[in-house]
A and B are shown apart, each in its own frame.
Chain A
Amino acid sequence: MSRRRSRVVINGIGLLAAFFFAFPVYWMVNTAFKSPDQFQTYVPVFIPIPTLDNFTKALNQPHFFDFLRNSLFVSISTVLLALVVGFLAAVTLARVKFRGRRSFLLLVAVAQMAPFEALLIPMFLAIKDWGYNWVPTLIIVYFIFTLPFTIWSLRGFVAGIPVDLEEAAMVDGASRFGAFVRVTLPLLAPGLVATSIFCFITAWNEFLYAYTFMSETQNYTLPVWLVSFRTFLGTDWGATMAASTLFTLPVLIFFLVAQRRMVGGLTTGAVRG
């Protein structure tokens, strides 16, 4: 009897904890769908009569599609660049024995711990003559940010695929390259997807460098816009929450897809949102 009661208590605590984590997100979405008379009240409305006005208002903000385009362009380019460069290094680390391998691994590990918040000033000075207020500059910066994690994560995925499989294909007459492409690459697909998603989210969310390096409004990315949103819209919390929801949605979907793979990968890599 008392065991059963303690189970009930424990599950009750679990639900309370779930409430603590989910409620703010629920409140963001809930506010996004409210008309002004539903969010400008002292007694909050928990289940609104939904309206899409806030989303229309957010989408009709000047330059919204510039911000969206900048964010997508920067994030996707970062992923592609980091994936190509990182993949070469990761496969080499996982499959080839070469002189200096250990030192190279250490270099990757150290690069991964570089505190980018402390490098803002020299980065700014380094790009100010050619890359200030130029959107592609952000691609280079985010590429440097994400490359170490990309290598680390992909190396793990490649190393996890037994080399015997490739060798078996080579016995059957495939070339080493052919064996890699036909045997290892398909098995690597989930790892590539998880790593890409992680890089994408890092670039998509980044605020400090975008905020510092982009001066003209049309060059902002979505996070910069979101933070300066309140100066545009005052206290229009409905539109602000609609904009937040729109910005968060792709990240949420990606997280749900890649969550399982990210826990393991992140413990070895110093990254958090």
Chain B
Amino acid sequence: MARTPSTGNAHLGASSQSAAPSRHRSSARVIHDLMPYLAILPTLVTFLVLLGYPVALLFATSLQKFGIYELINHVTTWIGLQNYYEVLFQSPQGLPDFATVLFRTVAFMLVNVVLTIVGGTLIALLLERLNKWVRLILTSSMVLAWAMPAVTGAVLFQWLFDSKLGVVNWAISSLGIFGNYLNHDWFTTGFTTFGIVTLLIVWQAIPFIAFSLYAGILSIPKELPEAARVDGASEGQIFRHITLPALGPLLMMLVFLSVIWDFKVFTQVYAMAQGGPDEQTITLSVYSYIVGISEGKFGYAAAASVVMLLLLLIVLVPYIRRMIKSLEGL
């Protein structure tokens, strides 16, 4: 059985058939063994160089005095941990304390995650109980919200909540329960601005969570809840003792993902109010953008980004662990 390198169908282990491998064959063998590495080489270069370099540069920059002057003149001044000290204890003028920003970001993230997960779970349970047509209508509507690009969502919600001509103010006023909201400006306080950003984020995030959980619910054998129902279990008991445990791992994954997404979210927050009013909606990612790009304090912003990265890492460690475990099977 003569194999030539050109056929390229050499299999691992097949070489035992050839009693005396010629030099020609062994070089084919080397190429064959190298193939997987050649195939992953572009990816390796991308990750280790194109992604690795910015990561290394982030840490390096965070240890340097790096402003517009250094940027233009290409000077490098190492200052150790001074940027971190300044990030933690002396915020630039006109910007809120880092502690305030951090607290705000975490609170904002928690509210978003809780609303998204609870809302997504409720919708998933609802989907299971709807008749065919209503389910089709609801899933189609959710695809619309899910597909909405973040920037469009931000612009659209500004229009919905516009003080003079917005449909929401008209609707609230027409209901009459909450009084007159015509000309009410939602974007004058940080709290209500955050409220609208949260509504936008939750509106866009629930579909994905609900679809994932609904797929999870469908994979639970029908016999389990039916048997429990026959035995007289209530819907609440079925949810607590059958549905929830079965969805556990998936639900954990979705919580992790939501935490990561909502902790670092930039576009919706920034496009809605650019951190305003009065810097009250500056979250961590908006903060490092404003300090770094707008004000040119690159070293300082890098230190803030490192802090953000480390905080994310704390959340990510159990996620990565789970990931490694799931890799075993691949």
The answer to whether A80 has its CB under 8 Å from any CB of chain B is no
Which B114-171 residues have a C-beta within 8 angstroms of A?
A: 123, 126-127, 129-131, 134-135, 137-138, 140-157, 159-160, 162, 164-165, 167, 170
Check if A270 sits within 8 Å of B257, measured CB to CB. Answer: yes
Check if A205 sits within 8 Å of B151, measured CB to CB. Answer: yes
CA distance A42 to B215 in the complex (A): 43
Contact A124:B144 (CB < 8 A) given known A14-B126, A43-B170, A226-B152: no
CA distance A100 to B295 in the complex (A): 44
Contact A14:B40 (CB < 8 A) given known A22-B144, A25-B144, A140-B50: no
Query: Chain B: which residue is nearest A107 at the CB level?
Result: B47
Interface size on B, residues (CB 8 A): 103
Q: Which of A24, A28, A259 interacts with B203 by CB under 8 Å?
A: A24
Which A115-130 residues have a C-beta within 8 angstroms of B?
A: 115, 117-126, 128
Check if A273 sits within 8 Å of B144, measured CB to CB. Answer: no
Write out the residue numbers on chain B whose beta carbons fall within 8 Å of the beta carbon of A14: 126-127, 130, 134-135, 137-138
Check if A117 sits within 8 Å of B298, measured CB to CB. Answer: no
Q: Kindly specify which of A53-61, A83-91, A188-196 makes contact with the partner chain.
A: A83-91
Q: Which of B11, B138, B159, B270 interacts with A240 by CB under 8 Å?
A: B159
Which B250-268 residues have a C-beta within 8 angstroms of A?
A: 250, 253-254, 257, 260-261, 264-267
Check if B182 sits within 8 Å of A227, measured CB to CB. Answer: no
CA distance A10 to B127 in the complex (A): 10
Q: Which of A104, A114, A120, A255 interacts with B143 by CB under 8 Å?
A: A255
Question: Chain A interface mostly helix, strand, loop or mixed?
Answer: helix
Check if B170 sits within 8 Å of A267, measured CB to CB. Answer: no
Query: Chain A: which residue is nearest B157 at the CB level?
Result: A24
Interface size on A, residues (CB 8 A): 99
Question: Chain B interface mostly helix, strand, loop or mixed?
Answer: helix
CA distance A109 to B319 in the complex (A): 11
Query: Chain B: which residue is nearest A105 at the CB level?
Result: B327
CA distance A273 to B260 in the complex (A): 13
Hey, what's the 0/1 contact readout for B243-283 against A, CB within 8 Å counting as 1? 00000001001100100110011110011000000000000
Write out the residue numbers on chain A whose beta carbons fall within 8 Å of the beta carbon of B159: 27-28, 31, 237, 240-241
Contacts A118-B305, A227-B154 known; 17 new A-B pairs at CB < 8 A: A15-B134, A17-B138, A20-B141, A40-B165, A115-B309, A118-B308, A125-B61, A148-B47, A176-B9, A204-B149, A207-B150, A223-B149, A229-B155, A251-B148, A263-B211, A270-B261, A272-B208
B residues adjacent to A (C-beta < 8 A): 7-9, 11-12, 35-37, 39-40, 42-44, 46-47, 50-51, 53-58, 61, 66, 71, 123, 126-127, 129-131, 134-135, 137-138, 140-157, 159-160, 162, 164-165, 167, 170, 182, 203-208, 211-212, 215, 250, 253-254, 257, 260-261, 264-267, 270-271, 285, 288-289, 292-293, 298, 301-302, 305-306, 308-309, 312, 316, 319-320, 323-324, 327, 330
A-B contacts, 20 of them at CB < 8 A, read A13-B126, A25-B145, A28-B152, A31-B159, A88-B39, A89-B39, A91-B39, A98-B36, A104-B44, A105-B327, A118-B285, A118-B306, A120-B288, A175-B7, A207-B267, A212-B289, A223-B149, A235-B162, A241-B156, A248-B147
